[in-house]
Amino acid sequence: MGKPRVLVLRAPGTNCDLETAYAFELAGAESSLVHITRMISHEVTLAECSIFVIPGGFSYGDDLGAGKVMANELDQRLHDQVAEFVARGGLVLGICNGFQVLVRAGLLPVPFGGQRSSLLVNRSGRFECRWIHLRIAPGNPCVFTPGVVALDLAVAHGEGRLYVPESSESDLTPVLYYARPDGREPEYPADPNGSFKHIAGLCDESGRIFGLMPHPERFVRLSQHPRWSTRAERDGPGDGLAFFVNAVNYARSL
């Protein structure tokens, strides 16, 4: 079987597209960087892709709020393409700004169910950029996380605080939680934004649509970790690579 094909969406202001494409290629996929205007014009479509990715950055400058403009594009101009892709079993990944887009476009927590939650300004009122510890929600259905229990990743965002109204709490399928290695409550800065129940990532009920604030594409090699020089291991995969490998392995079965 050939390599699964991944479409990494680009727009003015995205800046993590190259790293994300590289991570998928490292995991065994074939990645294409596609500007959103090419999808809107149908010059490029999702027809031959297995994985659709909205990477991190500041799409459209976050001028109307983080991810808002691109979310409108997905909802108003790419809705049919994305709906057909999801209906045939494709995987969708949104990282940081991409997570903001998925939430505001109504693809998470319930696909095409309208916006039921939001990602607000961090409680600190600051742009938070640091390495954090995470744990996986036990028993979650996300196809990106089998075999992962806990990991370190980097965050870099100003609007990452998940807000969930009481009426939507039952819609959530948590995948990732901000955590501390010692198991204590992850108060700030371990939880960098004050997210609802310390949630760092969500998936839909099927487990095929996944959004997260941390950046797995920034830790696909051990040498990318700030404490790499003090570790016994000198080479090998970083914690984030498992997400991409799991996605590619799943896509091979489609």
Q: Which residues are catalytic, by number?
A: 96, 215, 217
Residue 18 in contact with residue 43, Cβ under 8 Å?
A: no
Distances (CA, A) of 7 to 73, 90, 92: 16, 11, 10
CA dist., res. 103 & res. 159, Å (int): 12
Residue 134 in contact with residue 175, Cβ under 8 Å?
A: no
Return the percent helix, strand and coil in the chain, to nearest 5. 30, 25, 45
CA dist., res. 37 & res. 35, Å (int): 6
- Concatenated DSSP letters for 87-118? HTT-EEEEETHHHHHHHHTT-SSSTTS----E
